[in-house]
Structure 1
Amino acid sequence: MNAAQTPPWEQRSTARVLSPARPRKLAKVPFVELADGRLQGVVSSGSDIERVYVSSLTAKDYSFHCSTNNNRPCGGIRSGGCNHLRALADEAVLQYGIARVARYLRADVADSATTGGEVLSAVNAWHQPSAGAPVFSRFLRHLAYLELPASTEPLAELQWFPAGGAVR
């Protein structure tokens, strides 16, 4: 296949970024993702500007966890979640749309559902402590990319395969 036949997305070193379903404010929930079989992210504390919470909800069994970035458990954990998890779910709906979030979590939501709280209500969430460090580490990695100068050159750390070599 020559360059004229190659699709444009294969000729670039960048990936297409999906725009958010609706604009969201990053102050309360600066990081949200659907990854590793979980809805997970970082939620700012409402009482302490220097504290953030790492919250997650697993799609497979609906276990959730919420703790500070230094692994202290959230004091607001109840049987169905906490306010941080609800804020995370609401922002995920803004970022990805309710259909995608519900499909990813395998939640059976009503057609009229519009919020992350309704997604959480549709699942039988239960608390199980889990490690928040990997999620927080990914958040910090995303922040590091914001500090890089604008460039169209590829980033060395994202080039996983040697140029011109076959993957074996």
Structure 2
Amino acid sequence: MSDWERSSTARVTAPARPRKLAKVPFVELAGGRLQGVVSSGSDIGRVYVSSVASGTYAFACSTNNNRPCGGARGSFCNHIRALINEAVLQYGAERVARYLKVETAGGEQPSASSVEAGMSGTRPAQADTKDAAPVFSRFLRHLAYLELAPSAAPLPEMQWFPPTRTVA
């Protein structure tokens, strides 16, 4: 049995390129959306939960206490643009474009700007911010894991996973 099989942590896919976590500390492709947490440019204590839906490109951006973003009025705000850029760094442009169902112009190699342009050309609608709370909650849970010392001991909240059998 290898070390990672005995560990309480799972293997993480390496990012497509290294990224800085100060502006966008959390980004994920989940629930049919590109979603994540983006730091405020003006207030160090404020973060925004931003998302873009796959296929429809409906977008939402609000603070962690559900106040709407002032810049997301009819088009993507800077928080959503930062989220798209960081998602491309984390997952690669092809994977982000495929997940969001974005067709880039002329079949060119996707980039953050071509993914954004492919979505903006369709006049995306503003979505409800009701999904912000679970995204922010997952972000906080991820932060809590960073405070744990590395250990091979099981984590209590992960006990529901079935035990693995070793073959003799």
TM-score, structure 2 as length reference: 0.85
Flag the structure with more relative contact order, 1 or 2, with Cα contacts below 8 A and sequence separation at least 6. Answer: 2
Structure 2: segments with no counterpart, 5+ residues:
none
In the TM superposition, residue 126 of structure 1 has moved relative to its aligned partner by 1.6
Q: How many pairs are equivalent?
A: 158
- For 1:19, the equivalent position in structure 2 comes to 14
Partner residue of 2:70 out of 69, 75, 87: 75
Counterpart mapping for 1:1-168 below 5 A:
11-13=5-7, 14-110=9-105, 111-115=108-112, 117-123=113-119, 124=122, 125-131=124-130, 132-161=132-161, 163=163
Q: Structure 1 runs of 4+ off > 3 angstroms?
A: 8-14, 161-164
Distance 1:44 1:11 in 2: 35
Structure 1: segments with no counterpart, 5+ residues:
none
**Conserved? CA contact 1:33–1:40, under 8 Å:** yes
Distance 1:80 1:137 in 2: 26
In the TM superposition, residue 17 of structure 1 has moved relative to its aligned partner by 1.1
Moved more, 71-80 or 86-95: 71-80
In the TM superposition, residue 79 of structure 1 has moved relative to its aligned partner by 2.1
The verdict on how the C-alpha distance between 1:29 and 1:161 changes in structure 2, with shifts beyond 3 A counting, is: closer
Distance 1:155 1:161 in 2: 11
> Is the helix fraction higher in 1 or 2?
2
Distance 1:61 1:160 in 2: 35
TM-score, structure 1 as length reference: 0.85
TM-superposition CA deviations, 1:82-136 (whole Å, max 9, x none): 1100000000000000000001111112424322x32122022221222210100
